[in-house]
């Protein structure tokens, strides 16, 4: 019998799931790493654990201290759950535009949630800057009382994915992986997995699937941070190069519009029973592009980052989708006839 001594031990070792329709469409094996099966419901449980373990080892986080982070939601959920399991209080600053489901999920973990306006990173009132200032103020009053997780620029994030997520993919595929693709917010997953897989086999293709409105695909392809359009996806995309994303070994990069990514979310739920969030739709669209780039017969891995229930009021609301000019599948209209 396998038991876990605590919550941290239950994080990771998620299965790879064959994505049937994407595989059949491309003639490749497209596999999704089911990170929504982590205890906190997302791949950000890994990020949270990597940051926390590093801070405990270095002495930056001590017993009785408060964890503080600026997050779009999932990293905060992971930090709050791990904090509760290890005796830390948690304060989260979060853009008020994030889904009600994520805000509520954070609150029920016991975290103190401070909703702030959604502004660009260059604005001093960006949620990450507000978290940093809060830690500085708390430590000025009581040194060592607060720790800023700093998921975007704390490279313990990237290093933990390099040490865990990447080797898991290599082992699960028996080393027969030709490409890896995912979206990025902090840059930790793409950079960490990319570094690990390139270490095992320099020929593995690493690709960025970037939501419309993010500047990172442009940066990879042209060297210029230029964003166009917008997206309903949350928690991915960026207007800057983070410390985690810096030097990520990216071979291909595409900007993925919602009209391409959102239908994958609906198709996966209706056709394969996998309910995933918007970033996973972007990832699957990117995996299809990479598979077509490589050609039939290859194996491409991507990330199923979190669950659709975190975004039900957007991804699964016919009225919301129509308001954004996005297609609504017939089965969703039947499920919610009042929104038709």
pLDDT given for residue 186 in this prediction? 96
Residue 63, classified by CB atoms within 10 Å of its CB into exposed (0-12), middle (13-18) or buried (19+), is exposed
Written as six digits, the tokens of 21 are 């329709």
Which listed residue (33, 44, 102, 314) is catalytic?
A: 44
Grade residue 98 by pLDDT with cuts at 50, 70 and 90: confident
Q: pLDDT at position 126, please?
A: 93
Mean pLDDT computed over 176-191: 98
**Average of per-residue pLDDT across 43-49:** 98
Q: What is the pLDDT averaged over residues 261-269?
A: 98
The better pLDDT of the pair 257, 72 is held by 257
DSSP 140-169: HHSTTSEEE--TTT-THHHHHHHHTHHHHH
The torsion angle over the Cα atoms of residues 261, 291, 160 and 45, rounded to 10 degrees, is: 30
- Lowest-pLDDT range, 175-184, 231-240, 250-259? 231-240
- pLDDT mean over 201-209: 98
Residue 196 has pLDDT above 90, yes or no: yes
Of 291, 235, 227, 285, the closest CA to residue 258 belongs to 285
**314 catalytic, yes or no?**
no
pLDDT score of 72 more than 90:
no
Q: What does the pLDDT read at residue 340?
A: 60
Bridge partners of residue 255, in order along the sequence = 210
Least confident of 94-103, 186-195, 237-246: 94-103
Average pLDDT, the chain: 95
Helices (H), the chain: 20-26, 44-58, 74-86, 100-108, 127-141, 156-163, 165-172, 188-200, 216-222, 258-272, 278-294, 312-315, 318-323, 330-335
Three-state DSSP class for 43?
A: coil
Q: Which domains does the chain have, with CATH numbers?
A: 7-37+165-322 (3.40.50.1100), 43-148 (3.40.50.1100)
Percent of the chain with pLDDT over 90: 92
**Residue range 262-289: mean pLDDT, rounded:** 98
Look at strands 29-34 and 16-18 and give their pairing. Answer: antiparallel
E strand or H helix at 241, and its extent? none
172-196 average pLDDT score: 98
- Given a cut of 90, is residue 99 above it in pLDDT? no
> What pTM value is reported for the model?
0.95
pLDDT at position 2, please? 77
The token pair that represents 128 in the structure block: 């990450």
Q: What pLDDT shows up at residue 91?
A: 97
């Amino acid at each position: 019998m396998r038991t876990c001594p605590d919550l941290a031990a239950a994080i990771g070792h998620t299965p790879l799931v064959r994505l049937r329709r994407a595989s059949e469409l491309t003639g490749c094996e497209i596999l999704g790493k089911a990170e929504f099966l982590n205890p906190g419901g997302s791949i950000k449980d890994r990020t949270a654990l990597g940051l926390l373990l590093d801070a405990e080892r270095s002495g930056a986080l001590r017993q009785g201290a408060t964890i503080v982070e600026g997050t779009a939601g999932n990293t905060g959920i992971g930090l709050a759950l791990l904090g509760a399991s290890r005796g830390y209080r948690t304060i989260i600053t979060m853009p008020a535009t994030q889904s009600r489901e994520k805000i509520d999920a954070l609150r029920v973990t016991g975290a103190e949630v401070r909703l702030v306006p959604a502004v660009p990173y260059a604005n001093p009132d960006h949620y990450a800057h507000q978290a940093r200032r809060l830690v500085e103020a708390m430590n000025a009053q009581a040194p060592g009382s607060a720790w800023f997780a700093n998921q975007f620029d704390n490279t313990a994030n990237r290093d933990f994915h390099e040490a865990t997520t990447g080797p898991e993919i290599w082992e699960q595929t028996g080393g027969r992986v030709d490409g890896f693709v995912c979206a990025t917010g902090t840059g930790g997953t793409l950079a960490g997995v990319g570094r690990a897989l390139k270490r095992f086999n320099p020929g593995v293709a690493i690709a960025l699937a970037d939501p419309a409105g993010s500047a990172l695909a442009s940066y990879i392809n042209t060297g210029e941070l230029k964003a166009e359009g917008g997206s309903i996806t949350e928690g991915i995309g960026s207007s800057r190069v983070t410390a985690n994303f810096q030097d990520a070994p990216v071979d291909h990069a595409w900007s993925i519009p919602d009209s391409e990514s959102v239908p994958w979310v609906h198709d996966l739920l209706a056709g394969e029973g996998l309910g995933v969030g918007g970033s996973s739709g972007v990832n699957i669209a990117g995996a299809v592009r990479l598979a077509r780039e490589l050609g039939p017969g290859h194996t491409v891995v991507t990330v199923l980052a979190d669950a659709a229930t975190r975004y039900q009021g957007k991804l699964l609301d016919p009225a919301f989708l129509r308001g954004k000019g996005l297609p609504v599948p017939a089965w969703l209209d039947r499920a919610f006839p009042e929104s038709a």
